[in-house]
Structure 1
Amino acid sequence: MAWIREHTLLAVTVVIFVFMLLPNAVILWMSFNRPVGKFDYVWHQFSLDAWLNPCANNEMCHSIGLSLQIGVVATIVATILGTMIAFAMVRYRFKARSGVNALLFLPMAAPEVVMGATLAALFFNTIGPGGLGFWTITIAHVMFCVSYVVVTVKSRLAGMDPTLERAAQDLYATPAQTFRHVTLPLVAPGIAAAALLAFALSVDDYIITVFTAGNLETFPMYIWGSVQRAYPAQIDVIGSLMLLGTMAVIALSQIVGRARTARR
């Protein structure tokens, strides 16, 4: 019984990680499949065809490019706005602070289908159905990404030691110098994490995008359509590349963090 109590937490942790990572492993494995027919659901034969020609379907690659473009623009705008809001919420006290703080949680708490339908009604009444496209999707993504950026950067600012900024001011540093050489380097990991989260949310979003896309088709929308008519192995290749890219970014950040710690 003592051995079970000592290893229960480890066993539960391993089971949870296997449950979380198993779908990713299946996607990676199925990307090397040569399916029979249009659907890459059943393993048939090992092949590198999908990896050698990941853009066999021009429509799929166009949707990937569109998702990446929207993700980059939405991430940049949401990160800038969210970071400024986070600084205002943490560093300043104003009358509407509690109300603004509550409003920031609405995009995260509200169901996406409700937000998507509301945005669709807004765009229909302002620019008409013919105006739906790249910028309406980007505006919608910025709206829900800002809240996540604010929460992430706020947590970083709340844990920052304010005496470091006061020490810089005691050493006759100007406010601009203090922000550039002290504040920004300390909060930069939080901003980077917020930007990565915003980019992932934007590229991954389907529900809100459907209501605001018009005639455009992002990568999640393409996958949903493919499930109904065809599911090529190239989709698993793209998913595997995204997974490997994310792991590479995480590994690089860990290496850089350890290198900075070692230099100190």
Structure 2
Amino acid sequence: MPALQSMRHSFRSLAFAALTLAYGGSASAAGTQESTSLPWRDARQMVLVLTDGWDATSGTLQRFEFRDGRWQSEASAAPITVGRNGSAWGAGLHPAQAQGPVKQEGDGRAPAGIFTLGEAFGYESKAGTAMPYRPMHATSYCIDVPDSPLYNRIIDTREQGEAAAKGSTEPMRLDLHNDGDPRYRNGLVIGHNPNATPRGGSCIFAHLWRKPGEATAGCTAMASETMDGLLAWLRPDARPVFVLLPREEYARLVHDWRLPETTP
């Protein structure tokens, strides 16, 4: 009898192993395949912004670096603000989602999802960052006019002509156009709506806040020390991405989107 029981145990072990290979192995392979198909799979730096819901106007920002096969925190979470009406799914690197609000021009919501990080910009001729940097001038505008061929682009009217900025509400030297406004003294372009789909939302930045807790028209705003640390840390060769999600969506997508495992 002991020999028979041993044989039965061995058979069950072999059968379980076969099922594990047939199902668990396939699932693992599928997970690996899905991970390698993510457009941001090569990113080694991630700026993660989390809010408490679609209508929340504030949240936290934390920096992560991918090392030793996992995302590791580079700094503690810092307070930020987003759109005055919260956030909504934007157009970026992530696939379209079936549920939740969708970003539109003028809706007062910050775009949610995963996005590239573009050039840094500001009022000074240079900045303490390895990212490409573009100084802004009194003639610099971001075009938020949906039917303009320059929609969702920063232009200089000395090059494109003054008519190119007609109707734009986004002068990039806010200090000169709005009584010393400091918000664009330092900032980063967030790669939302890269195809410039009309009315899809434009001129989305990470920038300074005018005062703590003040919501934005759709950008992500923060304290100057948070921005300084962010600019000094970012490296173009690390292919950094910007992630903004309500916490409930983050919990739903954390594994499929290969996000940091622990919530800041």
Smaller-chain TM-score bracket = under 0.3
Q: TM-score, normalised by structure 1?
A: 0.25
Q: TM-score, normalised by structure 2?
A: 0.25
Specify which structure has the bigger relative contact order, considering alpha-carbon pairs within 8 angstroms and separated by 6 or more residues. 1
